[in-house]
């Protein structure tokens, strides 16, 4: 099925309530800093509504969309694959408009936010492709959200939440009941679900886990974990439990988390930032686009989840 880009953008903007959310609190800060650091005139190169909200249509291609490619971060691999495998008018739907090098808990620490290279932007425009990104509005979506996708695949019952947003009263952190399990079994399941070679683990191992907290992406905030623990959570599942960004900010956060981890009773499990957010694309978002809109989708998994 072919969909007019103009109509598709309206559907997606409305589904994720972009106008209600206003400026993305993260990328309205990080995107200008990243592109200004390399002297790239992002305001003239990206669509005007995006430069105001930092969500939505980033690059506008041909007026008819045949396929939507789904990814999380704009890595070189993802963008090269999109440009090579796409046809004029196809659209790339990502969670981030910047690459986020979060670092590898068993390898190299990351650089933090990295802008899309100018050659990829030029390649996308030359082929008349489109790019759409949605960050906070996707995280908070009640049925298509990043954490909601994790809860569904774990067959978890959502019973409470933390960090609600005023726009739709949906919590960012989901507190859930699950069938009884133990830490090692839960880690084994998560490695299979997210297709990762290892998790980042800290805290305590439990023989009987029945209550969990879920927050996709960067859940490495001590006050969030403290609040979850007060609600009786046994395991805290997120993308990043430790910040491995190689700067003063990253080292300070890492130190604070290590101190908390030495005292907590919870199992703290990180499945990588990108993998935790890719799950929603290959499940809920793919289903929504194909069944509700009727358009073909193509998945682009990241070449390395711990990046």
- The CATH number that applies at residue 249 is 3.40.1390.30
Q: Domain for residue 217, yes or no?
A: yes
223 marked ligand binding residue: no
Spatial contact of 235 and 100, defined as CB atoms under 8 Å apart:
no
Spatial contact of 129 and 88, defined as CB atoms under 8 Å apart:
yes
Residue 78 has a pLDDT of: 98
Q: Do 58 and 96 fall within a single domain?
A: yes
Residue 254 has a pLDDT of: 96
Residue ranges for the chain with pLDDT beneath 50: none
24 marked ligand binding residue: no
Using CB atoms within 10 Å of the CB of residue 111, give its burial: 0 to 12 exposed, 13 to 18 middle, 19+ buried.
Answer: middle
Q: Domain for residue 77, yes or no?
A: yes
88 marked ligand binding residue: no
C-alpha torsion angle, residues 3, 5, 10, 12 (rounded to 10): 80
Mean pLDDT of the residues in the chain: 97
Q: pTM here?
A: 0.97
Each residue's pLDDT tens digit, 172-213: 999 999 999 999 999 999 999 999 999 999 999 999 999 999
Q: Do 214 and 241 fall within a single domain?
A: yes
- Supply the range of the domain harboring residue 149: 140-275
Q: Do 238 and 293 fall within a single domain?
A: no
Q: Do 10 and 100 fall within a single domain?
A: yes
Q: How many angstroms separate the CA atoms of 175 and 161, rounded?
A: 5
How large a percentage of the chain has pLDDT more than 90? 97
Residue 167 has a pLDDT of: 82
Q: Are strands 91-94 and 56-59 parallel, antiparallel or unpaired?
A: unpaired
Q: Domain for residue 106, yes or no?
A: yes
Domain count, the chain: 2
Spatial contact of 61 and 88, defined as CB atoms under 8 Å apart:
yes
66 marked ligand binding residue: no
Q: Domain for residue 7, yes or no?
A: yes
């Amino acid at each position: 099925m072919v969909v007019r880009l103009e109509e598709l953008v309206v559907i997606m903007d409305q589904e994720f309530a972009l106008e209600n959310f206003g400026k993305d609190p993260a990328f309205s800060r990080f995107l200008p800093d990243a592109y200004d650091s390399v002297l790239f005139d992002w305001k003239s190169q990206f669509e005007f509504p995006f430069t105001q909200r930092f969500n939505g249509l980033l690059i506008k291609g041909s007026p008819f969309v045949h396929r939507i490619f789904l990814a999380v971060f704009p890595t070189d691999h993802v963008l090269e694959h999109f440009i090579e495998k796409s046809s004029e008018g196809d659209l790339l739907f990502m969670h981030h408009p910047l690459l986020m090098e979060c670092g590898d808990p068993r390898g190299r620490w990351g650089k933090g936010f990295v802008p899309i290279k100018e050659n990829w932007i030029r390649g996308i425009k030359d082929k008349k492709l489109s790019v759409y990104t949605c960050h906070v509005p996707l995280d908070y979506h009640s049925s298509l959200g990043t954490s909601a996708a994790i809860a569904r695949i774990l067959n978890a019952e959502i019973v409470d939440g933390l960090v609600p947003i005023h726009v739709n009263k949906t919590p960012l952190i989901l507190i859930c009941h699950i069938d009884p399990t133990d830490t090692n079994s839960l880690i084994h399941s998560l490695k299979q679900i997210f297709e990762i070679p290892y998790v980042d683990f800290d805290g305590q191992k439990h023989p009987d886990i029945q209550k969990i907290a879920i927050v996709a992406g960067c859940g490495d905030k001590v006050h969030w974990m403290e609040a979850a623990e007060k609600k009786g959570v046994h395991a805290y599942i997120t993308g990043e439990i430790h910040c491995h960004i190689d700067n003063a900010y990253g080292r300070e956060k890492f130190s604070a988390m290590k101190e908390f981890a030495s005292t907590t009773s919870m199992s703290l499990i990180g499945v990588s930032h990108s993998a935790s957010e890719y799950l929603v694309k290959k499940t809920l978002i793919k289903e929504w686009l194909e069944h509700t809109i009727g358009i073909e989708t193509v998945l682009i998994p990241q070449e390395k989840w711990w990046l």
